Structure 1
């Protein structure tokens, strides 16, 4: 048996839970949910960080078939927790094979919005300023600000 730290999704209350390693190929979403929460909380506790999955991201994680057994899901959760900056882990942080499944089920508008969100985040991350990102995206500064507001994107001011 594996012992790990778990907590409720939006709180800092921790408790001990036991998860038995094994296959996650079945569609037992409650088992997968416990596994994801347990592993996320273990990593967060170990690295003294706070990470949460958006509902959309959690849905994609829980509904994927993992041919690599429990280890694949655990490695994915650990990688996401330590590599994502900020508190929330969004679908754009997931590997392409999980994103593609999501994109095929979304409407054209949703796919366009997601692509726009990713392009804006990437430009902001790589350029470091809104003006430079707008120039890179070949749109005006004001347009980029409106699109950032539309998508709920904030620039880090560290």
Structure 2
């Protein structure tokens, strides 16, 4: 089940924060870069991130989440996390599809991921996101940017 996460529910937010740490630790190892901002974020900073979240729940347990912001009709995906115990179950795909469906009035969708994060890049390309550029954000570490125009 996919549901909007209520940031007033501290218990769920703590679970989301812990899930995020576990998921981004796996990504850090995959891309060999350990300064991913969510890994360094405090719980208090996380609570004040200003992003909207959808969670993917299996038997009432949080198994994945996606967050985003919308500005001037452009949606930016900020975080996509899946519990490592639930990798390769299609959860990221389901979250991405639900996010786009829920925000069908947006003019475009944008996302960035580590250039070496092949699973994430493949997910976005499979969903018709177009690579726009790579930017070096730390010595020898690049972020790949993708964008998708909404169907109108």
Query: Whose RCO is larger (CA < 8 A, sep 6+)?
Result: 2
Which of the two has greater strand per residue?
2
Q: By the TM > 0.5 criterion, same fold?
A: no
Into which bin does the TM-score normalised by the smaller protein fall?
0.3 to 0.5
Higher Cα radius of gyration: 1
Which of the two has greater helix per residue?
1
Q: TM-score, normalised by structure 1?
A: 0.33
